[in-house]
Structure 1
Amino acid sequence: MHKVSDGQKRRVQICMGLLHPFKVLLLDEVTVDIDVVARIDLLEFFKEECDQRGATIVYATHIFDGLETWATHLAYIQNGELNRSSKMADINEMKTSPNLLSVVESWLRSETKLVKKKKKKEPVAAWKPSPLDNSPFRSSRHMAYYR
């Protein structure tokens, strides 16, 4: 497996996950390493599986292309709390926006504006050394981007 691409690894992971029947399937950024055509085919497969099995898929993603016709419901989580939850047909912004991406973008931009308004300068605490400072498991900005 170490010689195959990330997309091929992702396909194997998806196939292994689908070997067992499901009523609820939780997917987190499952299509991130997959090419556009494979992504569309996979989403169509999931849609058919849900219809045939009567199953539910909870799909967390930052990639919104083509989800307008795929999703039946949308949940928007802001700062760890459920901000919005409704049927796609009941989202008023979808009636005037060209796609789901532009709707989500407007929500995120308004969220950013709220955070800037609420943000106050807090006193900076003095830095105290920690026994974990030299640990390889210590969090750093760079580690946030690695998989």
Structure 2
Amino acid sequence: MAANDKVTKAETAKEEPASPILIQMGIFAAILFVSSLISPLFPASFPVPTPVIGLVLLYVLLATHIVKLRNVEKFGDFMISLIAFLFVPSGIQLAASLDILKAQGVQIVIVVLIATIVLLVVVAYTTAGFIWIRKNVFHRDVNVDD
């Protein structure tokens, strides 16, 4: 066990530091720029928002190790810390639409619940598909730390 601990400590010592914050911002900006170029290519009957395409691109880049987690983690954590602040305007708009909620509140709640369940199932199967591809096509073990 002691030799195994030494290897783990040696591997940990070799890890590269996180990228500077401006590089991380640049990676996010480049992904959003590419997403904005892809978004208009979808048909009008199936519009896909640019941020959704950006999330998928970032996931694919992270899963294929084109972008390392350490290259985007610090800025990603910063953006997550701002989520509550960014959703305040949405909450204010929701309060302004209380008459709609009173009239159709149950239907809205049902639609939101069904959409959430569908989203969770789609994300789960998509992730399982990527893991299957990585194991069976690329013959690589799936490790979260990669």
- After TM superposition, the score normalised by the length of structure 2 is 0.27
**Bigger RCO of structures 1 and 2 (CA < 8 A, at least 6 apart):** 2
| Structure showing the higher strand proportion among its residues | 1
- After TM superposition, the score normalised by the length of structure 1 is 0.27
| Structure showing the higher helix proportion among its residues | 2
